[in-house]
Structure 1
Amino acid sequence: MAWAPLLLTLLTYCSGSFSQFTLTQPPLVSVSIGHTVKLSCAISSGYTFGSVTWFQQKDGNSPRYLLTYNKDSDKHQGSGVPSRFAGSKDTSNTIGYLTITSVQAEDEADYYCAAHASGAAQRYNEVGN
């Protein structure tokens, strides 16, 4: 198989009246077809993820819900989303991950993270896009 780069664009910003934390993703990731890629979504200092949700958006289409990950025993895979898309978090609950194994050409898209987070004795829901 010939090497073919796959570009995954990661876009994040917080909006809304409760914008107390920010989500940060690298702007662009390149991966070869058939390889594995791990996309990250970091939450600002002082907050931790309750759950992290991931969406995929291809040119000209609405965002597609991929999955929500809270912990191994509390996760939800979107309808029709292959198991090669998997969520996880670091042990400190400050970075959420989307791992895509056996990357395929059709995985080229923008990926958005959203957070249900806690910190400063309050809970917030934010969408990174």
Structure 2
Amino acid sequence: MMVLTMAWCPLLLALLAHCTGSWAQSVLTQPPSVSGALGQSVTISCTGIPTNTDYDGEEYQSYVNWYQQFPGKRPILLIYGDENRNTGVSDRFSGSKTESSASLTITSLQAEDEADYYCQSTDDSLSIHTVLRPMGK
């Protein structure tokens, strides 16, 4: 596995060196973990979102998606397009976005909300995650 990974390094470096524009410099940042008391609200922030991107002279708006992932399970799309709840997602989950940051808010925190939460920018596909551990369970 290490040899395979190392074999991709020159290609990856060449690709990164070739990339230009604001999207190539974007880095998303989330807190590594957040906690909250059961029944309370928690907000997970995601900063570093590109405001708008310019590809070949055309400007595109950035959108944020939020995912929830339980250990050993595939990620579940909670919020798409900054603030739209996916089908079947509880209204306790809401998303918002300002110029270069986004937030996922969970109200009436429940023990089953303990999971990893990922933000994703649709323009550069960079994503990171925050572990949520409700207190008092």
TM-score by length of 1: 0.69
The equivalent residue for 2:114 is 108
1:69 deviates by: 3.5
Greater relative CO, 1 or 2 (CA 8 Å, sep 6+) = 1
**Superimposed CA distance per residue, residues 83-127 of structure 1 (whole angstroms, 9 cap, x where no aligned partner):** 11000013xx111000000011000000000013xxxxxxx3313
One-letter code aligned to 1:125 = D
Q: Does 1:97 align with 2:109?
A: no
One-letter code aligned to 1:109 = A
Q: Would you say the 8 A contact 1:69–1:88 is kept in 2?
A: no
1:26 deviates by: 0.5
**Superimposed CA distance per residue, residues 28-68 of structure 1 (whole angstroms, 9 cap, x where no aligned partner):** 10111100001000016xx3262110000011111000011
CA RMSD of aligned residues (A): 2.0
1:52 to 64, 67, 75: 64
Runs of 5+ consecutive residues of structure 1 not aligned to the other structure: 1-15, 117-123
Structure (1 or 2) with the greater strand fraction: 1
Q: Which runs of 4+ in 1 moved over 6 A?
A: none
The equivalent residue for 1:25 is 30
Q: Distance in 1 between matches of 2:80 and 2:104?
A: 10
TM-score by length of 2: 0.65
- 3-state SS, counterpart of residue 72 of structure 2: coil
The equivalent residue for 2:125 is 126
Q: What's the % identity of the aligned pairs?
A: 42
Q: Name which one, 1 or 2, has greater alpha-carbon Rg.
A: 2
Q: How many residues align?
A: 99
The equivalent residue for 1:7 is none
One-letter code aligned to 1:63 = P
More off after superposition, 75-84 vs 98-107: 75-84
Structure (1 or 2) with the greater helix fraction: 2
